[in-house]
A and B are shown apart, each in its own frame.
Chain A
Amino acid sequence: YGEEAAHRYARMHVAVAPACHIQCHYCNRKYDCANESRPGVTSGVLDPEAALDHVAATQARLPHLRVVGVAGPGDALANPKRSFAFLEGLRRRFPELIPCLSTNGLALPGYVEELKRLDVAHVTVTVNCLDAAIGEAIYPWVFWKHRRRFGREAAAILLENQMEGLERAVAAGLMVKVNSVLIPGVNDRHLPQVNRVVSGMGVAIHNIMPLLAPPESATFYARMGQPVPDEVDLEQVRAQCGGSAHLMRHCRQCRADAAGLLGEEPRARTIPIARSTVSSEIFQVAVASRTGERVDEHFGHASAFRVYRLTPHGVGLMVKQRPVSRHCHGSDSCGESDSPLQRIIDTLRDCRAVVCERIGPDPQDALRAAGIEPVQRFSGSPVVEALSTLNREWRV
């Protein structure tokens, strides 16, 4: 949604749609957070009723909540029963909230009427190209009419439906946004044309965002060492886009379950695991502990922090130990800029909190300024207990 609104109103994504009918090379369903909901663990995806309760809880926490979107973790329209049951409930229970939905567009032509009926005024369609010869380097397959189609045929089916969906959605009076993933060497030179064409079709907003391909995502692109664009590449492509569609520049590439004010969420806080991510938010927490059993180390004495993931299913695995150089050497160098302290903070930037035995007032301030919460109240407690408590508190 709009740039100004982004800083005034909060939005949330609700993960009610697990299934998807296409494969993108920037997504791997096996290694996104879905592997936290593998056999033996309850799924992080919410059923429509639970999702509505989740909206109520989020609304209580975020009074500025205005927009509620179905953004996966699969494709909203590959899960029509779940998505529409949720949207129906949303309209009934929260008529003041604005529903929106994002889709790859494969099934969009058939659902525009239904979206209109459910007052879904905003639809986002991901369009990465217009040409199947480019599309086959992005989409290895689609499931269409009871068969899996591969290669260029698959891309052609998808692109045709995207175009028809866009056309129908605009004609129905929906506000349509197009997302495009900038993939260097694949569609970078092509995106200005995408911008021109979708603008001509009446698309209101065009959001060109960078490919994310961290190794841990295990996506095809990540495994192939596909280069990702930097800010300069992104701006270069955007500069060539002169269509009427408003170019969105405040996108933070949030997860399928993000919630909050866009302007208040630094990108570092949203963990870029894969484009299509699952279930509820995952937090990272750094712990200062000598053996890993208890919270028994002073922040300034720690030579490494253990970083844990807190998932909706419980305390996750330790990500890794991050060695740092002790910032406190007993001298008066404490707190200087570009000090060891600053380097520690840089190391922990993707963590929501640091749990330690004790921490001095200056480092506390520095951490808070970096958006990391210093936590001392678990001093001496078992690490697992501290993490479970935080995980519970943060998910209320």
Chain B
Amino acid sequence: MSMVITEECVACAACEPECPTGAIMERKGLYVVDRKVCVDCEGYFDRPQCGEVCPVEGAIIDHKGRPLNASGSLQGTWPKETNDGTVATWRH
């Protein structure tokens, strides 16, 4: 089991120092997870740290290919339909 960094990555390096096992490294300007070293933060934190800090939706996926930060989860997707059918503005 291991996290995977996808080509959405913008190489901002935020994840690298957060990884408790040192599984994330830079390779030619890109960031990759060493599958043999990554433990999905089990035993360290309740959530994978790379996924917690990453600013880009879809840049980190789990071993089943599910994004830790789905589309719209970080940058916002408002205005969206509310339950009563009106369109909410982004300012709540």
Contacts and interface: CB of A to CB of B under 8 A. Distances in A.
Nearest to A80: B17
B21 to A, nearest CB: 14
Interface stretch (A35-43, A208-216, A356-364): A35-43
A161 B41 CA distance: 27
A34 B12 contact: yes
Interface string B1-44: 00000011111111001100000000011100000000000000
A79 B13 contact: yes
B53 interface: yes
Contacts of A37: 10-11, 29
Given A39-B30, A143-B53, A146-B45, A18 B75 contact: no
Interface string B58-91: 0000000000000000111011000000000011
B47 A147 contact: yes
Main secondary structure of the interface of B (DSSP, over half): loop
B14 A30 contact: no
A224 B14 contact: no
Given A18-B12, A20-B14, A30-B8, A42 B74 contact: no
B45 A23 contact: no
Contacts of A109: none
A148 B53 contact: yes
Contact of A220 (B18, B53, B90): B90
A318 interface: no
A301 interface: no
A185 B89 CA distance: 12
A28 B49 CA distance: 20
Contacts of B47: 146-147
Q: A-side binding surface: helix, strand, loop or mixed? A: loop
Contacts of A147: 47, 52
B2 to A, nearest CB: 19
Contacts of A283: none
Contacts of B78: 224
A64 interface: no
Contacts of B79: 224
A297 B56 CA distance: 43
A25 interface: yes
B55 A42 contact: no
A78 interface: yes
Report, nearest first, the 9 A-B pairs whose CB atoms are least far apart.
Answer: A19-B14, A34-B10, A43-B29, A143-B53, A18-B12, A42-B29, A29-B55, A148-B52, A220-B76
13 contacts: A18-B12, A20-B55, A21-B14, A21-B53, A23-B74, A29-B10, A29-B12, A29-B56, A30-B57, A34-B12, A38-B11, A137-B91, A146-B45
